[in-house]
């Protein structure tokens, strides 16, 4: 007889979502967490990084104010105040993810490391829990690459960066993906020297047309970008730490941050004992997020490696996964994961948002029926009024005008991502015909969508028809 209906390993965004749904539907749930409730997003990820960015953006706004005729002087950064804001944001959200709240839902929250000891049993805190179904939501951690010398120098990851008591004098960041870039801009705007060392090019996954404005903004913020740079080794330096490049270059700083990607937390899970197949990218699942080898087990969040799609490390993907698991595991309905309309936003200034695939990804998948529509933000009245005209909206549609992907760059464009996520697969006429409030940045997308129909609307047959219609009474 199983002890619990659902056993969940990990109380991050994914595990908490599955736990709340399962308990809400009356199932007996055990939730295992060895670290902080709320996982990465709350404690070491989205929340502190966005809070730090908010502080950096506030400083940048103060520096920008003279262009409006407003002179507040150069901002003074009080690092203790910045830290208080970051940790205040975590504390304000923490009750939502707390053990007390989840115990209040009737969930057995066990603060211990959990591991499979059989295909239908988990051990944690010295107790064995036989389960009907299990969900592995153990997340991912920062990759520590095999760079010579790294073991001998102090370095930061997302788990230690936000706990740093002192303001870094010169933050050297290895990796120019979303973590590296968000943290580079936040620290630069808060008065730190920042260098980013990127092996390929910054924001390499993003639409190249969107990366240009971001690169220009980072350089304007004073971030030293070293793209196409190969790290040969790291070593101690009188400044703190130095990164030596393969071309002989040397970048010395006070602090080193690693932001070179994520690896699934597969350690300590006893996946072999559970008969749960996994690979270097995570737990192998089908598109219903069910383990390919143990049909009692599902995976959710960063640790899931669904066949053909691969892992995606976003908090909103965790809730998408929870919905898929609820459908398949609890309701026994067909469930199939798709990232066709998945949004993602890098919260730099300007923000970069991608909804669905990029043009390059669609072309690589063999799509040759694409219509590309662009609208520069320089022609948007609201952004002109606010002095933030850099950026663009780029829409990729099929021949019939159905939206396949959208790429945005500009101030605050992340707030528009939801609208495009709803638009994926729909005709652009929905957006072109929508009545949007004036003046808003969203109008740029409506104008881009409208361009799909303009040539048809102004065609000779339509003009002829209008010519005849004018004679009607």
Ligand X SMILES: NC(=O)c1ccc[n+]([C@@H]2O[C@H](COP(=O)([O-])OP(=O)(O)OC[C@H]3O[C@@H](n4cnc5c(N)ncnc54)[C@H](O)[C@@H]3O)[C@@H](O)[C@H]2O)c1
* Residue 114 interface partner, choices ligand X, ligand FAD, none, CB cut-off 5-8 Å depending on type: ligand FAD
Q: Does 306 help bind ligand FAD (rule: CB under 6 A)?
A: no
Helical pair 178-189 and 208-220, crossing angle rounded to 10 deg: 30
Restricted to residues 246-285, the positions that interact with ligand FAD (CB under 6 A) are 265, 268-269
Residue 471 beta carbon to ligand FAD: minimum distance, rounded to whole angstroms:
58
Tokens of 151: 């073991």
Region near ligand X per CB under 6 A, out of 67-75, 116-124, 179-187, 371-379: 179-187
Backbone phi and psi for residue 37, each to the nearest 5 degrees, phi listed first: -60, 140
DSSP character at residue 200: S
Residue 151, CA distances (Å) to 141, 146, 180, 236, 241 in order: 17, 9, 20, 11, 12
Contact partners, residue 164, CB within 8 Å, separation at least 6: 156, 255
Using the rule CB under 6 A, which residue among 22, 185, 294, 315 binds ligand FAD? 315
Restricted to residues 334-393, the positions that interact with ligand FAD (CB under 6 A) are 347
CA dihedral in degrees (2, 12, 204, 179; nearest 10)? -150
Residue 111 beta carbon to ligand FAD: minimum distance, rounded to whole angstroms:
9
Give how many residues touch ligand X by CB under 6 A.
25
Cis peptide, bond prior to residue 121, ω within 30 of zero: no
Q: Does 231 help bind ligand FAD (rule: CB under 6 A)?
A: no
With beta carbons less than 8 A apart as the criterion, state whether 442 and 436 touch.
Answer: yes
- Taking residues 49 to 78 in sequence order and writing x for each that binds ligand FAD by CB under 6 A, - otherwise, the string is xx----------------------------
Restricted to residues 201-230, the positions that interact with ligand X (CB under 6 A) are 204
* Residue 12 interface partner, choices ligand X, ligand FAD, none, CB cut-off 5-8 Å depending on type: ligand FAD
* Residue 33 interface partner, choices ligand FAD, ligand X, none, CB cut-off 5-8 Å depending on type: ligand FAD
With beta carbons less than 8 A apart as the criterion, state whether 440 and 382 touch.
Answer: yes
Q: Which is nearer to ligand FAD, 115 or 367 (CB)?
A: 115
Q: What is the DSSP string of 144-181?
A: ----TTGGGS--B-HHHHTT-SSPPSEEEEE--SHHHH
C-alpha of 412 from chain center? 15
Q: Does 231 help bind ligand X (rule: CB under 6 A)?
A: yes
Contact partners, residue 464, CB within 8 Å, separation at least 6: none
Using the rule CB under 6 A, which residue among 5, 31, 45, 170 binds ligand FAD? 45
The residues that touch ligand X, with contacts defined as CB under 6 A, are 145, 174-180, 182, 197-200, 204, 231, 259-262, 313-314, 344-347
The residues that touch ligand FAD, with contacts defined as CB under 6 A, are 9-15, 32-35, 39-41, 45-46, 49-50, 113-115, 137-139, 158, 179, 265, 268-269, 301-303, 313-316, 318, 347
């Amino acid at each position: 007889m199983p002890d619990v209906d659902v056993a969940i390993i990990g109380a991050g965004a994914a595990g908490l979502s599955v736990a709340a749904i399962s308990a809400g539907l009356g199932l007996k749930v055990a939730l295992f967490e060895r670290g902080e409730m709320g996982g990465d997003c709350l404690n070491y990820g989205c929340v502190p990084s966005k809070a730090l960015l908010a502080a950096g953006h506030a400083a940048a706004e103060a520096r920008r104010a003279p262009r409006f005729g407003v002179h507040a002087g150069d901002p003074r950064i009080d690092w203790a105040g910045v830290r208080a804001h970051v940790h205040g944001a975590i504390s304000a959200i923490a009750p939502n993810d707390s053990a007390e709240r989840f115990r209040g839902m009737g969930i057995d929250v066990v603060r211990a490391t959990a591991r499979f000891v059989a295909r239908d049993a988990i051990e944690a805190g010295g107790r064995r829990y036989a389960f009907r179904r299990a969900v592995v939501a153990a997340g991912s951690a920062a990759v520590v690459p095999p760079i010579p010398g790294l073991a001998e120098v102090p370095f930061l990851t997302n788990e230690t960066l936000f706990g740093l008591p002192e303001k870094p004098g010169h933050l050297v960041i290895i990796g120019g993906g979303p973590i590296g870039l968000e943290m580079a801009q936040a620290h630069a705007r808060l008065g730190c020297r920042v260098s980013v060392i990127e092996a390929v090019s910054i924001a390499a996954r993003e639409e190249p047309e969107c990366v240009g404005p971001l690169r220009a903004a980072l350089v304007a913020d004073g971030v030293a970008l070293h793209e196409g740079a190969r790290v040969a080794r790291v070593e101690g330096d009188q400044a703190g730490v130095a990164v030596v490049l393969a071309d002989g270059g040397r970048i010395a700083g006070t602090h080193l941050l690693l932001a070179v990607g994520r690896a699934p937390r597969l350690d300590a899970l006893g996946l072999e004992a559970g008969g749960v197949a996994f690979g270097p990218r995570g737990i192998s699942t089908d598109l219903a997020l069910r383990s390919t080898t143990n049909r009692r087990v599902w995976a959710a969040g960063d640790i899931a490696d669904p066949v053909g799609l691969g892992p995606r490390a976003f908090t909103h993907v965790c809730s998408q996964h929870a919905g898929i698991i609820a459908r398949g595991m609890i309701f026994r309905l067909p469930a199939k994961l798709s990232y066709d309309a998945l949004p993602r936003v890098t919260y730099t200034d300007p923000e970069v948002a991608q909804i669905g695939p990029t043009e390059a990804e669609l072309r690589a998948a063999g799509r040759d029926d694409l219509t590309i529509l662009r609208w520069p933000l320089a022609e948007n009245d609201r952004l002109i009024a606010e002095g933030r005209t850099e950026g663009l909206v780029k829409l990729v549609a099929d021949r019939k005008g159905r939206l396949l992907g959208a790429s945005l760059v500009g101030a605050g464009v992340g707030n528009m991502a939801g609208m495009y996520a709803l638009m994926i697969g729909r005709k652009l006429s929905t957006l072109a015909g929508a009545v949007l409030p004036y003046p808003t940045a969203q109008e740029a997308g409506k104008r881009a969508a409208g361009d799909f129909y303009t040539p048809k609307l102004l065609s000779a047959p339509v003009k002829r028809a209008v010519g005849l219609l004018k004679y009607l009474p």
